[in-house]
Chains A and B, each alone.
Chain A
Amino acid sequence: MRLLLLTCFFTLSLLWATNPTPQQANEDVETEFVDKTGEALFDPLEGYNRFMTDVNDHFYEYILRPTAQGYAYLVPESARKGLSNAFDNLFFPIRFVNNLLQFKWGNAFEETERFVLNSTMGILGFRDVAGEELHIYAHDEDFGQTLGAYGVGSGFHIVLPIFGPSNARDLVGLAGDYWLNPLTYIEARDANLVDNTTESVAITAFYMVNRTSLHVNEYDSLKKDAIELYPFLRDIYESRRNKLISE
Chain B
Amino acid sequence: MIKKLLFGIGMMFVCTHSLFALQENDIASSMRSHIDLATSILRNTQLAKQERSGKIFAIFDSVFDYTLMAKLSIGAKQWDTLAPEKQREFTKLFEMRLKNSYMEKLDLYTDEKIVIKNLEKIKDTRIHLTTHLMKNGEVYEIIYKFYKTANANEWMIYDVDILGVSIIQTYRTQFAEILAKEPFERLLERLKEPEPTNTKAPQ
Contact = CB atoms under 8 A, between A and B. Distances in A.
Contacts of A226: 174, 196
Interface stretch (A103-111, A197-205, A235-243): A235-243
B173 interface: yes
Contacts of A34: 169
Nearest to A136: B137
B168 interface: yes
Nearest to A57: B199
Chain A interface size band reads 35 or more
Nearest to A26: B150
Interface string B156-174: 0011000111101111111
Contacts, number: 149
A239 to B, nearest CB: 4
A235 B76 contact: no
A229 B159 CA distance: 21
A122 to B, nearest CB: 13
Contact of A229 (B104, B175, B198): B198
Interface string B61-79: 0000000100010011000
A188 interface: no
A7 B11 contact: yes
B92 to A, nearest CB: 16
A239 B165 contact: yes
A29 B11 contact: no
Interface in B156-203: 158-159, 163-166, 168-178, 180, 190-191, 193-200, 202
Nearest to A41: B173
B15 A8 contact: yes
B150 A24 contact: yes
A239 B167 CA distance: 11
A230 interface: yes
Given A10-B12, A234-B173, A235-B169, 16 more contacts: A11-B16, A12-B15, A15-B153, A23-B124, A25-B148, A34-B169, A58-B200, A81-B136, A221-B108, A224-B104, A224-B195, A226-B174, A228-B198, A235-B170, A235-B173, A239-B169
26 contacts: A7-B9, A11-B16, A15-B16, A19-B153, A24-B150, A26-B150, A29-B147, A29-B158, A33-B168, A33-B169, A34-B169, A50-B198, A54-B199, A58-B200, A137-B137, A137-B138, A217-B108, A224-B104, A227-B178, A227-B191, A227-B196, A228-B196, A229-B198, A231-B177, A232-B173, A234-B173
Interface of B: 4-5, 7-9, 11-12, 15-16, 18, 68, 72, 75-76, 100-101, 104-105, 108, 124-125, 136-139, 147-153, 158-159, 163-166, 168-178, 180, 190-191, 193-200, 202
